[in-house]
């Protein structure tokens, strides 16, 4: 389906119909598969014949999701996992051995930072954290044994951005894999592989499902790397369930249409907030005043659904604004049809030390909104003091 445009691939790619010719993808809720004969079983186990053996290895519903997401990211292959975290974990464990080194952005999803600082460190893997946007810092931190650059761009909640093409030039020169967590943008707005990244990581729990129903994750990239990552999950177990694969598969069909609506409303909200006297500062990459607006314009097709802002005052003032809302959901999740509001310093980033919060600009008066699909006028009305 190479010749089709994004939205057509989103709807049509990955179809895997059975003899029933079902029009909507079937859910294969089965742990294992029967063989026609002992010989066929032997051939399947010996990898002489393609086909399903056990759903920890392959499952048709999961494969349909993998095919669709690979097509949308422009990847050779994609491997689905039980959650975004297991996608990140599988990637790191596949690419690094004890004694090796990776460089990670300081501004990443809270649990990613916890994973790196606790579990990954136990495997004697060295990690250097750098300022996402500082290309010199990435380059200067490279060691002989560096195997991976890991980052999210734009960062959440402040929308800091690194120029993926420029960073990919540094990683390629040094033979280092570049992995971009594309959860906040999705392939509807940004295609890291086309910009030179080696792997794209997803928490499909967010915009790809888009309706807050399940956890799912994925990694996409070259066939070689993805095969290695899938043999890791095949043996360790965090593969995606058929039921959750079906949910996120359906989510992909409407991803671009939802993202366009999220972006449109987020822009309206950012412009409105920017004009309010009770707001000190708005962080939305779509605003020309955002320091990374021009790089965003270069490597993204739009600016996404996350809007953060600082209220005048301190934590109490931020809490008061959050508690004053009637419709918005006070939850740390993002990428839902429902607009969510959260105070990063006490929720998503609570495990950071005061110094780390300062470095990441997570202040006490900062609020993050993931703009949903309600009418934007109602969202704005809910935020009026």
Ligand X SMILES: *Cc1c(COP(=O)(O)O)cnc(C)c1O
Residue 171 as a binder of ligand X (CB under 6 A): the answer is no
Minimal distance, residue 303 CB to ligand X, in Å: 16
Residue 102: Cβ within 10 Å count: 24
Nearer to ligand X, 58 or 203 (CB): 203
Scanning residues 287 to 346, which ones bind ligand X (CB under 6 A)?
Answer: none
Judge contact between 88 and 268, C-beta under 8 A: no
Nearer to ligand X, 78 or 279 (CB): 78
Residue 65 as a binder of ligand X (CB under 6 A): the answer is no
Select the residue interacting with ligand X from 13, 63, 160, 181 (CB under 6 A): 181
Residue 77 C-beta-side C-alpha neighbours within 13 Å: 10
Residue 161 as a binder of ligand X (CB under 6 A): the answer is no
Pairing of strands 126-130, 101-105: parallel
Minimal distance, residue 98 CB to ligand X, in Å: 24
Mask: binding to ligand X, 189-208, rule CB under 6 A, as x and -? --------------x-xx--
Nearer to ligand X, 207 or 309 (CB): 207
User: What secondary structure letter does DSSP report for 76?
Assistant: S
Minimal distance, residue 348 CB to ligand X, in Å: 9
Distance CA 300, CA 176 (A): 24
Minimal distance, residue 245 CB to ligand X, in Å: 14
Tokens of 189: 């707005």
Q: Element (H or E) spanning 62, and its range?
A: helix 60-73
Scanning residues 77 to 116, which ones bind ligand X (CB under 6 A)?
Answer: 83-85, 109, 111-112
CB burial of residue 297 (10 Å; 0-12, 13-18, 19+): middle
Q: Which residues partner with 369 through β-bridges?
A: 307, 341
Minimal distance, residue 291 CB to ligand X, in Å: 21
Q: Element (H or E) spanning 90, and its range?
A: helix 84-95
Report the residue closest to ligand X, judged by CB: 84
Mask: binding to ligand X, 244-273, rule CB under 6 A, as x and -? ------------------------------
Residue 152 as a binder of ligand X (CB under 6 A): the answer is yes
Beta sheet of 279-283, edge-to-edge order: 279-283, 306-311, 366-370, 340-342, 329-330
* Secondary structure class of 383 (helix, strand, coil): helix
Nearer to ligand X, 204 or 279 (CB): 204
Runs of H (alpha helix) within 275-347: 293-299, 315-324
Residue 184 as a binder of ligand X (CB under 6 A): the answer is yes
**Contact residues for ligand X, defined by CB under 6 A:** 83-85, 109, 111-112, 152, 156, 181, 183-184, 203, 205-206, 215, 217
């Amino acid at each position: 389906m190479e010749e089709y445009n994004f939205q057509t691939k989103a709807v049509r790619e990955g179809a895997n119909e059975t003899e029933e010719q079902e029009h909507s993808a079937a859910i294969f809720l089965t742990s294992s598969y029967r063989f026609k004969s002992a010989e066929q079983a032997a051939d399947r186990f010996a990898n002489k014949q393609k086909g399903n053996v056990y759903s920890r290895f392959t499952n048709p519903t999961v494969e349909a999701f993998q095919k669709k997401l690979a097509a949308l990211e422009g990847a050779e292959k994609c491997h689905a996992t039980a959650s975004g975290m297991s996608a990140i974990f599988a990637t790191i464990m596949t690419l690094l051995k004890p004694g090796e080194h990776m460089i990670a952005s300081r501004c990443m999803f809270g649990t990613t930072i916890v994973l790196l600082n606790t579990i990954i460190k136990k495997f004697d893997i060295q990690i250097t954290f750098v300022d996402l946007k500082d290309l010199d810092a990435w380059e200067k931190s490279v060691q002989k044994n560096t195997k991976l650059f890991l980052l999210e761009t734009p960062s959440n909640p402040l929308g800091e951005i690194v120029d993926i093409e420029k960073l990919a030039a540094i990683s390629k020169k040094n033979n280092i894999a570049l992995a971009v967590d594309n959860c906040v943008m999705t392939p509807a707005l940004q295609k890291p592989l086309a910009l030179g990244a080696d792997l794209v990581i997803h928490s499909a729990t967010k915009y790809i499902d888009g309706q807050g129903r399940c956890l799912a994750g994925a990694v996409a990239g070259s066939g070689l790397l993805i095969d290695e990552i899938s043999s890791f999950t095949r043996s360790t177990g965090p593969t995606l369930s058929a039921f959750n694969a079906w949910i996120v598969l359906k989510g992909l069909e409407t991803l671009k249409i939802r993202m366009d609506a999220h972006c449109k409303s987020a822009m309206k909200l950012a412009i409105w907030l920017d004009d309010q006297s009770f707001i000190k500062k708005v962080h939305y990459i779509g605003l020309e005043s955002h320091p990374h607006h021009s790089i965003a314009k270069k490597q993204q097709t739009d600016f996404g659904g996350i809007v953060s802002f600082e209220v005048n005052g301190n934590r109490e003032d931020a809490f008061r604004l959050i508690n004053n809302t009637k419709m918005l959901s006070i939850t740390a999740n993002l990428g839902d049809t429902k607009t969510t509001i959260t105070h990063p310093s006490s929720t998503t980033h609570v495990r950071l030390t005061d110094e780390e919060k300062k470095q990441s600009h997570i202040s006490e008066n900062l609020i993050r909104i993931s703009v949903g699909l309600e009418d934007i006028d109602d969202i704005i009305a809910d935020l009026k003091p």
